[in-house]
């Protein structure tokens, strides 16, 4: 069970996994801070969730690649609810990046959202979490943040980088009672493929991958927020993909060759 009236800040809450996670948290009495750029989508979700009993949803339109905006958003959330108990660092974008065709400007933009944005968000909530000696941070990585796929190496690198921060901070923040969960979704049915910074909605293997619904992933994220495992997955397939990659990397190389762009 999630303790009552936790305040949960979710980035990338306007659609996809973030919106599904907000809906899954809204089965409990919670305060939800919904962060993304799209004001109308955030407002519509907040209206939907505020119609439920014991749910307070506050939409805050923010670009997570902008440090001042993040800090203002966290302050607004603290003013509204007094504290932030859980941060779900979920905002993210993908891009196609085959070798020899890297768009560096888009790659930097991607890192500014997926990596620096998540890190700036952690830095912004840290002072209040430290002061209350309690906090939970869920970093939404990806199974391709544990095993890179051909054609999307820049995106994979941003998730590996996020995992690195999770591992460092998990130890650094232990004495402050701030816990970090790394969550690794597999291919999920969202608009992620349509929102890529560059390239078509494919990693070379579209149609061959096992697809999970955003609702299932959102529920698994809430479960991870309750049980706080070190590493969390939405499906057995996603967990097996990562374990197989660690135990048999050459075999996985052979399997993943078919996903070449």
Ligand X SMILES: NC(=O)c1ccc[n+]([C@@H]2O[C@H](COP(=O)([O-])OP(=O)(O)OC[C@H]3O[C@@H](n4cnc5c(N)ncnc54)[C@H](OP(=O)(O)O)[C@@H]3O)[C@@H](O)[C@H]2O)c1
Whether 155 is catalytic is: yes
**Among 111, 160, 169, 192, which residue interacts with ligand X (rule: CB under 6 A)?**
192
For position 166 contacting ligand X by CB under 6 A, the verdict is no
Q: Taking CB under 6 A as the criterion, which residues in 220-259 touch ligand X?
A: none
Whether 159 is catalytic is: yes
Six-digit token string for 229 = 């495992």
C-alpha distances out from residue 186 to 165, 211, 242, 250, Å: 20, 7, 10, 20
For position 162 contacting ligand X by CB under 6 A, the verdict is no
For position 65 contacting ligand X by CB under 6 A, the verdict is yes
Q: How far is the CB of 176 from ligand X (least distance, A)?
A: 25
Q: Taking CB under 6 A as the criterion, which residues in 9-38 touch ligand X?
A: 11-18, 36-38
Q: How far is the CB of 165 from ligand X (least distance, A)?
A: 14
Pick the catalytic residue: 28, 155, 184, 233? Answer: 155
Q: How far is the CB of 74 from ligand X (least distance, A)?
A: 13
Residue 166 falls in which region: left (phi positive, over 0), alpha (psi -120 to 50) or beta: alpha
Q: What is the DSSP letter of 116?
A: I
For position 190 contacting ligand X by CB under 6 A, the verdict is yes
For position 181 contacting ligand X by CB under 6 A, the verdict is no
For position 57 contacting ligand X by CB under 6 A, the verdict is no
Residue 177 falls in which region: left (phi positive, over 0), alpha (psi -120 to 50) or beta: left
What does the radius of gyration of the chain's CA atoms come to, in whole angstroms? 18
Contacts with ligand X by CB under 6 A: the residue count is: 29
Pick the catalytic residue: 28, 159, 184, 219? Answer: 159
Q: How far is the CB of 135 from ligand X (least distance, A)?
A: 20
Please identify, using beta-carbon distances, which residue of 132 and 237 lies nearer to ligand X.
237
Q: CA 156, 241, 118, 191: dihedral to nearest 10 degrees?
A: 80
For position 64 contacting ligand X by CB under 6 A, the verdict is yes
Cα 153-158-164 angle, rounded to 5 deg: 120
Six-digit token string for 244 = 């197989």
Question: Quick check: 212 and 188 in contact, CB under 8 A?
Answer: yes
C-alpha distances out from residue 7 to 78, 94, 95, 151, Å: 9, 28, 32, 38
Please identify, using beta-carbon distances, which residue of 113 and 129 lies nearer to ligand X.
113
Residues taking part in catalysis: 155, 159
- Under the rule (CB under 6 A), what is the footprint of ligand X? 11-18, 36-38, 41, 63-65, 90-93, 113, 140, 142, 185, 187-188, 190-192, 195
């Amino acid at each position: 069970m999630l303790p009552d009236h936790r305040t949960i800040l979710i980035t990338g809450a306007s659609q996809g996994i973030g919106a599904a996670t907000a809906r899954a948290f809204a089965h409990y009495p919670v305060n939800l801070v919904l962060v993304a750029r799209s004001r109308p989508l955030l407002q519509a979700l907040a209206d939907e969730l505020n119609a439920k009993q014991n749910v307070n949803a506050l939409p805050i339109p923010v670009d997570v690649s902008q440090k001042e905006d993040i800090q203002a958003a966290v302050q607004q959330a603290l003013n509204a609810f007094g504290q932030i108990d859980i941060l779900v660092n979920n905002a993210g974008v993908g891009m196609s990046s085959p070798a020899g065709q890297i768009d560096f400007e888009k790659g930097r933009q991607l890192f500014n959202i997926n990596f620096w944005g998540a890190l700036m968000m952690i830095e912004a909530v840290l002072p209040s979490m430290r002061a209350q000696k309690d906090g939970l941070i869920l970093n939404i990585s990806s199974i391709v943040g544990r095993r890179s796929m051909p054609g999307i190496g820049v995106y994979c690198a941003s998730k590996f980088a996020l995992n690195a921060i999770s591992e460092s901070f998990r130890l650094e923040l232990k004495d402050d009672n701030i816990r970090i969960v790394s969550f690794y979704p597999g291919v999920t049915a969202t608009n992620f493929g349509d929102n890529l910074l560059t390239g078509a909605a494919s990693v070379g293997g579209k149609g061959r991958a096992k697809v999970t619904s955003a609702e299932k992933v959102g529920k698994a994220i809430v479960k991870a927020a309750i049980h706080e495992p070190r590493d969390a997955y939405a499906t057995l397939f996603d967990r097996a993909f990562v374990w197989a990659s660690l135990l048999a990397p050459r075999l996985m190389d052979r399997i993943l060759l078919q996903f070449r762009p």
